[in-house]
Amino acid sequence: MTNAEDALAELTAEVRRLGDHVAVSQVIASYGPLVDTSDRIERSTVLAELWTDDGIYDIGGVGSKVGKTEIAEGFVETHFDMVGSGVAHIMGLPFIEISGDSATALCYSQVMVPEGDRWFAWRVAANLWELDRTDAGWKVTRRVNRLVGPDDGAYNVQKTIDRLNSGTRS
């Protein structure tokens, strides 16, 4: 290849990496509005489309749901009733690592719920997202969600920053 072709190939790879970063951020950003409008199975089924067919949602204090159907049904008892009174799943700034056709992201989530004329944090959790590039875009293969508290759950999720951080390009 010529130097110009080399430069273009290098630039194309970097643009792809940045585009992947944005795309993964979008998946995470879409979770809140999707779950906060999931008040019936038709909607939580749309929400579950964020995952791959055999994707896992491992929820702190609730348990592990495997596959889109189980994930969609997982919201029936624990979540549908909250939507009517208003709920906001707010995602903090994610740390995202792209590695070829896989990605890992780490972020905090806050679930805010109204009470009188204020809102309170009903859940604060650490989240590890693992995603794969698919023909339908980036999809979640596994999300681990752990409530921030005295047990080791969230701590172990938070600690994955060590692995992610060391793998990051400068």
Interacting residues with a second copy between 87 and 126 (CB under 8 A) = 87-88, 90-96, 106-108, 110, 112, 114, 118-124, 126
Helices (H), 51-122: 68-78, 80-83
Q: How far is the CB of 126 from a second copy (least distance, A)?
A: 7
Which position among 53, 81, 99, 137 is part of the footprint of a second copy (CB under 8 A)?
Answer: 137
User: Hey, which residues does 51 pair with through a beta bridge?
Assistant: 140
Check binding of 140 to a second copy (CB under 8 A). Answer: no
Structure tokens at 6: 């080399």
Rounded Cα gap, residues 1 and 11, in angstroms? 15
Residues of this chain, 52-81, that bind a second copy according to CB under 8 A: none
Check binding of 82 to a second copy (CB under 8 A). Answer: no
Nearer to a second copy, 25 or 66 (CB): 25
Which position among 42, 77, 100, 169 is part of the footprint of a second copy (CB under 8 A)?
Answer: 169
Q: How far is the CB of 64 from a second copy (least distance, A)?
A: 21
Q: What is the β-pairing status of strands 63-66 and 95-99? A: unpaired
Cβ neighbours of residue 107 closer than 8 Å, sequence gap 6 or more: 28, 91, 92, 93, 94, 95, 127, 129
H/E stretch holding 91 reads strand 88-91
Part of the chain binding a second copy (CB under 8 A), chosen from 16-24, 51-59, 66-74: 16-24
